Structure 1
Amino acid sequence: MDKVQVLMSTYNGEAYIEEQLKSILQQTYHNIVILIRDDGSSDNTVLIIQKFMGMYPDKFRFIKGSNVGVIQSFFNLMHSADLDASYFCFCDQDDVWMNDKVERSVQLLHLCDTAGMYFSPTMLADQNLSPIKVWPAPPKKDPHFYNAIVQNIAVGATMAINKAARDLIVSKTVNMENLQMHDWWVYLCVSAFGKVYYDERPTIYYRQHNNNVIGGHRTILHELRSKWRSFRNHSGHKLLKKQAVEFNKTYVELLDAEKLDQLQLFIQDRKSIREKYQFLQKSKLYRNSFLENQLFKFLILIDYV
């Protein structure tokens, strides 16, 4: 049975981390070890982790770090991962895993002979883990590099990667300030050079509480407003382009000609309205709904992306 390593970054997670760790230890897949990096917690998170380490010394490895933020913390975990592990699962501190999460991800990633990534939807749940709904909705199109340039459809807490994907990501030095999030970067890398697997069944209970509420009961109007805010946040300061430029700088020599052409088409400057229309005619990039695609095109035309 191939070894799976769970990569967990923690920060002031005393309220829920014990429940999460128990759900990992109760997986139907048994060859699992857990690497935890604490990002400078000031509560009892570390004490809880140490309690579990005492109970399961062969299952845990712990890194007590300073506060560097979630992106850098997960990159540190990937760099510190066990080299004899075949698969790696990203893990948040406040969710609860369904008991077959790891087994299902390994079943799909086992089919992959290149860099591979797995993800699924979540079961959105309230603070007490009472189910609300499946979130997010299934992608309307298959995961692809042309989507990953402008949208992340993968919830990082559900993601698993194989060793080839981990090696691809840690082999390069990147400027973290240009990355949107660690899971988005992984989606970019694997969709560019490997295979992305989507499992339509939820694998985790995604707990909603004061620090991470995404709005399980939003109306359509609220969703529209949320998508607009998301576009503005990601686009107003050219954040999507900054990440794409970083990816181009990092992997330009490895990309095939067609993907490189689309990437560089996106990151080039577009001054005139004619250049913007030409981009829209040539671009194969897409977001995963009709509404978001229309917003994307509009923001291109007003030079917001």
Structure 2
Amino acid sequence: MARKRVAVIMSTYNGENYLREQIESLVQQEGVEIRIFVRDDGSQDRTPEILASYKEHLAVIENEGQNLGVGNSFMETLYQAGTEYDYYAFCDQDDVWLPNKLLEAVESIGNTPKPTLYCSNQTLVRKDLEPIGLRHAQPINTSSLQILNDNPVTGCTMVWNRELQEILHQPKNRPSRDVLKVRIHDVWVAMVASTVGDIIYDTSSYIYYRQHEHNVVGVRKENIYVNWYKKFRDKSKRNGRSLLAKEIVEKFSDRIGEGTLSDLKIVSGYQRNFSAKMALIRHSHLFSLSNESKWAIRAKILLNLI
């Protein structure tokens, strides 16, 4: 039986410390045929040199001198990967994959014709790969409401089938750059999968998820006061939930269940007037999966920060 072909999608930025170790773990994947699509987002260290040394394994995406930011860089690479592969996977620059990571995902998804996203647990490790422990002690909630509030689906564990890739790849379905500045690539892909397809969660781990001082996204929770300060100071960091809901409704309303669609419309349109704000406050179930207090949520609604 022919091996399944997997497109591995990576964006790099100043990743010289751990990149070589990550790529080595990719080329040692067992039971699948891989092609690594990588876009460097303007590194100023030895990252481009390291990528060049693996040119036989990589399809390097031209960055045209642009620094797009992590979300937009990953999605641009996703588009460049096309729709010809059997499966697709996001990959960070600083982790280490176990040899069976992709094969386990491919076998879990199987040949279902439904758009399907796979994700898994992670083994947290220090920068020298010393184990800390599993990230999740219990199965995670992969509902659209959970993803909208506080996404638990980690991009570096994501693998999805061609059916979902074809949806993500279509120009009319692509998110705006503004959304990807406040809700990055893994949130978008998880949200699309949760509303138009299925998500499979594997409680096992096949990845060493490295925690270090330069993580772009890690497991550390940002102080709530720091989060609010950033939102007030920088408009581009505001309205992540409503922008995400708005674009999902605009692009996929004909494929979303009635209840979920109604909820997303309430979130997406809350800034229209005071009545719309009060309607969102009354629908408290929409934020039942948030880690913020109900008073913080209400304040954010009134201040147009949701």
Could you state the TM-score of these two structures normalised by the residue count of structure 1? Answer: 0.84
| Correspondence for 1:174 | 175
**Paired residue type of 1:75:** M
8 Å CA contact 1:109, 1:118 repeated in 2: yes
2:8 maps to what in 1?
6
Percent of aligned pairs sharing the same letter: 29
In structure 1, what is the Cα distance between the partners aligned to 2:229 and 2:114?
35
Per the TM alignment, residue 20 of structure 1 is displaced from its structure 2 partner at its CA by: 0.4
Amino acid at match of 2:52: Q
Deviations 1:265-297 (A, max 9, x none): 2233273696455322xx456427xxx2xx253
Distance 1:210 1:37 in 2: 22
| Structure-2 residue corresponding to 1:299 | 296
Q: 2:53 aligns with which of 41, 51, 54?
A: 51
Match status 1:239 vs 2:240? yes
> In the alignment, is the contact (CA less than 8 A) between 1:11 and 1:39 conserved in 2?
yes
TM normalised by structure 2 equals 0.83
Distance verdict in 2 for CA 1:231–1:87, change over 3 Å: farther
Which of 182, 193, 196 pairs up with 1:193?
Answer: 196
Task: Show structure 1 runs of 5+ residues with no match.
Answer: none
The SS at the match of 1:143 is coil
User: 1:147 is matched by which residue type in structure 2?
Assistant: Q
How far does residue 111 in structure 1 lie from its aligned partner after superposition?
4.9
Provide the residue aligned with 1:110 in structure 2.
110
Deviation of 1:78 after TM superposition, in Å, equals 1.2
**The residue matched to 1:199 in structure 2 has which SS?**
strand
10 and 133 in structure 1: CA distance in 2 versus 1, 3 angstrom threshold: same
For residue 196 of structure 1, report the CA deviation from its aligned partner: 0.2
1:72 corresponding residue in structure 2:
72
- CA distance, structure 1, for counterparts of residue 143 and residue 231 of structure 2: 19
Cα distance in 2 for residues equivalent to 1:84 and 1:233: 41
Q: Distance in 2 between matches of 1:233 and 1:137?
A: 31
2 CA distance for matches of 1:215 and 1:10?
A: 16
What's the CA shift for 1:19?
Answer: 0.4
What residue is the counterpart of 2:127 in the other structure? 127
Please say if residues 246 and 269 of structure 2, whose CA atoms lie closer than 8 Å, have aligned partners that are also in contact.
Answer: no
Contact kept in structure 1, 2:179 and 2:244, CA below 8 Å: yes
Amino acid at match of 1:190: A
1:147 is aligned to 146
Distance 1:234 1:131, change over 3 A: farther
Q: Is the 8 A contact 1:9 1:73 kept in 2?
A: yes
User: What is the CA–CA distance in structure 1 between the aligned matches of 2:118 and 2:111, rounded to whole Å?
Assistant: 11
Separation in structure 2 between the aligned mates of residue 147 and residue 231 of structure 1, nearest angstrom: 21
Instruction: Name stretches of at least 5 consecutive residues in structure 2 with no aligned partner.
Output: none
Matched residue of 2:205: which SS?
A: coil
Q: Is this contact kept in 2: 1:234–1:240, CA < 8 A?
A: no
User: Aligned residue pairs: how many?
Assistant: 287
CA distance in 2, matches of 1:52, 1:40: 18
What RMSD over aligned residues (CA atoms) do the two structures have, in Å? 2.7
Does the 8 A contact of 1:138 with 1:200 survive in 2?
A: yes
Q: 1:104, 1:227 → 2: CA distance?
A: 37
1:268 counterpart residue number: 269
Which residue does 1:39 correspond to in 2?
Answer: 41
Structure 1 residue 192, shift from structure 2 partner? 0.2
Question: Are the structure 2 counterparts of residues 107 and 228 from structure 1 closer, same or farther at C-alpha, using a change threshold of 3 Å?
Answer: farther
Counterpart of 1:11, as a letter, is: Y
Structure 1 position 167, deviation (Å):
1.3
Q: CA deviation at 1:263?
A: 0.9
- The structural deviation recorded for 1:158 is 1.1
SS of the residue 1:190 aligns to: helix
Is the CA contact 1:277–1:301 (under 8 Å) kept in the aligned structure 2?
yes
Q: Does residue 1:16 correspond to 2:14, yes or no?
A: no
| Residue type at the aligned position of 1:194 | G
Residue 250 of structure 1 and its aligned partner are, at CA, apart by 2.2
- TM-superposed deviation, 1:215: 8.0
Aligned to 2:159: 160
3-state secondary structure, aligned to 2:213: coil
- 1:185-235 deviation per Cα after TM superposition (whole angstroms, max 9, x unaligned): 00110000101010111221111222128787x8xxxx6x74675688689
* Inter-CA distance 299–112: structure 2 relative to 1 (3 Å threshold): farther
Q: Which amino acid aligns with 2:161?
A: N
The aligned residue for residue 250 of structure 2 is 249
